[in-house]
A and B are shown apart, each in its own frame.
Chain A
């Protein structure tokens, strides 16, 4: 046995002895609560080790990695068009949005640009995947806080959007539709009118969920002032998306660093909330669903005619170079750092996914809260396990 292990063991024994002494003197005992990897509040396999004093959290630590699928490494042995199949599965509720930054990075390396019509359709689908994602968030938060009905409404009304995505792409969850230089297909006939109806239904859902959940006194009591993340903490932990805007930081990549999508040409608004608590994050996401439906409507109104594919060689070889493209995805800023050596596939892909940074703040924000608040905070930070572990 090495000296390091001996020291480890000695420290462990000393810690146990110290614990025992404390327990004896004040006749109370802390408890380590292991939330996850299998726990309904963790949306999958996030594990949170929380040290409790009665029901109060003394310290908590998120442990990720139970669902790591090695997409960054796998991307190195795929060709560029094949990579989109993998990265579809990162944020599985808003799949199309995952493809966009990677394709944009590849396009930047190849120095081509998608034709205008493709860009507008891309933006519409990008925002529709945001709606599909956030509508389920609205339902799921209701469920986490004990209101089952909201969850069913979320699943029901997400279907309107998913049906429209399926009508274009052929896939409900994993469209795999974005191509380097444009899109796979044009829109089907009659799709624009149907999508506008679907957007109206989603706006109805927002009103309904506002009636059912947002205005509810119990919901407000559970969320207001809980899990407050000040702006400086949010920035230092690298939060992004609604979690950052919920802390009062006015930062939205769609407006501040647009690349390849047509957001600057649309009329929309970035919402921020000064409180930084669970309720502000919830409120911002509901407003973002509304804004996204407006954006989709505008995209469909302003859709230019023309080709949907630029002139791209049949066998795609990306010239050597590096590119980093970041977009404002449903969960927050998502970026791909693509290094190419001029081969059929990328040499190296680094994925910056929003949820990984968003849950890193958990150990800071969970200190001192009660066990039920853990659930409220987790659901308001809103992570997707695939987005944490990739």
Chain B
């Protein structure tokens, strides 16, 4: 299946342009939707305010206005900053998010690169952002930023492990690292003899899903795990010294990676771009599939942001304790149970 053909022949440069535009759309559209729907509107309604309502209908163009504002602002470098690293860090963080989208199947033919070890690749590149964050924290020459960057690194080590272990359960059940295969197993599987709704792994991997979502929350540095950016103690941590377009890049990366992890969670646990009653191999899924995936992504990110607006923040050592003493053992037990049941049935 690695030699997928587009419906019509195109030159290499045409395909490349199409893919670049596609990746940008795939990154920016979910990010914009999340920011508007959840950060601007849902958060406002939860906090008994109206949110932006002047720019465009129901404030929907507020984000564009904000982007315009950020682009106009001065790009400030602190006097003692390591200029090269300081300038580079936001791009590393954004690049890591862009790379995640490469391996995601949006439809039977709608993907950017089909990788046999897709989920492995996704988990690997998604961690690159921590390097960017660490660089940003170090290069800012600011104590708060440094603490923030170091906390982000510590958090990554603590939470990458439960996330990977939670995914292992899915991989064991699907028998493949290929994201497309994982979707197919969910679409064509059956549970307790029922097959019309397939076998979304959230049913059998509920524990894995919960662990994955908690780890995602930490990976995205959203409350209650937002110690690296803790605005009330570290003054937004590694982002303190950034302004203008570079801050915008961090902002995009934050919400695009929320979308990326939403998509990964939807693909792993909620059946990906497939819905019951649809034929996952049909051509129309190339159009319907991305919309279905967007809907599922919004559901997952809704949970992420709901938690974000509700809970206070953990302390760094409490987070480490939570990860190492609770999540990792739980994830290991989950893998063990999955393996035993896989062999038994």
Contacts and interface: CB of A to CB of B under 8 A. Distances in A.
B147 interface: yes
A370 interface: yes
Contacts of A31: 143
B229 to A, nearest CB: 10
A221 B43 CA distance: 25
Interface stretch (B18-26, B79-87, B125-133, B220-228): B220-228
Nearest to B46: A149
A222 B315 contact: yes
Interface stretch (B116-124, B195-203, B251-259, B305-313): B305-313
A145 B235 contact: no
A9 interface: no
B232 A216 contact: no
Interface in A348-386: 370-375
A152 B47 contact: yes
Interface in A185-219: 212-213, 216, 218-219
B314 interface: yes
Contacts of B233: 41, 371-372, 374-375
A146 B311 contact: yes
Nearest to B227: A372
B311 A152 contact: no
A148 B235 CA distance: 14
B72 interface: no
B147 A218 contact: no
B152 to A, nearest CB: 13
Contacts of B325: none
Nearest to B234: A371
Contacts of B47: 148-149, 152-153
Given A146-B223, A152-B49, A372 B315 contact: yes
A221 B311 contact: no
B316 A370 contact: yes
A33 interface: yes
Interface in A1-58: 31, 33-34, 39-41, 55
Contacts of B143: 31, 33-34
A153 B48 contact: yes
A377 to B, nearest CB: 11
Contacts of A218: 224, 311-314
A372 B47 CA distance: 24
B283 interface: no
A375 B232 contact: yes
A44 B37 CA distance: 33
Contacts of B227: 372
Interface range, B side: 20 to 34
Given A148-B47, A218-B224, A371-B147, A142 B312 contact: yes
Contacts of A293: none
B311 A216 contact: yes
B307 to A, nearest CB: 11
A147 interface: yes
B48 to A, nearest CB: 5
A372 B319 CA distance: 12
Task: Give the interface SS of chain A, mostly helix, strand, loop or mixed.
Answer: helix
Interface string A235-268: 0000000000000000000000000000000000
B225 to A, nearest CB: 10
B48 A40 contact: no
A156 interface: yes
A371 B228 CA distance: 12
Contacts of A231: none
Nearest to A152: B47
A144 interface: yes
B9 interface: no
B34 to A, nearest CB: 17
A143 interface: yes
Nearest to B231: A40
A152 B313 CA distance: 17
A182 B86 CA distance: 63
Interface in B30-59: 43, 46-49
B317 interface: yes
A152 B48 contact: yes
B172 to A, nearest CB: 32
A351 B27 CA distance: 59
Interface in A70-98: none
B214 interface: no
Given A143-B232, A218-B224, A370 B312 contact: no
B169 to A, nearest CB: 26
A372 B230 contact: yes
Contact of A216 (B43, B48, B231, B312): B312
B2 interface: no
A148 B46 CA distance: 11
Contacts of A55: 147, 316
Contacts of A39: 235
Contacts of B230: 146, 372
A29 B313 CA distance: 28
B310 A212 contact: yes
B314 A221 contact: yes
B3 interface: no
Most buried by B among A41, A149, A371, A372: A372
A219 B147 contact: no
A202 to B, nearest CB: 15
A147 B224 CA distance: 8
A148 B306 CA distance: 12
A372 B226 contact: no
A375 B314 CA distance: 12
A380 B179 CA distance: 49
B316 A145 contact: no
A213 B312 CA distance: 8
Contacts of A153: 47-48
Most buried by A among B49, B143, B317: B143
Top 4 A-B pairs, shortest CB-CB distance: A146-B313, A152-B47, A145-B312, A147-B312
12 contacts: A33-B143, A40-B235, A147-B312, A147-B313, A148-B47, A148-B223, A149-B310, A216-B311, A218-B311, A221-B318, A370-B315, A374-B233
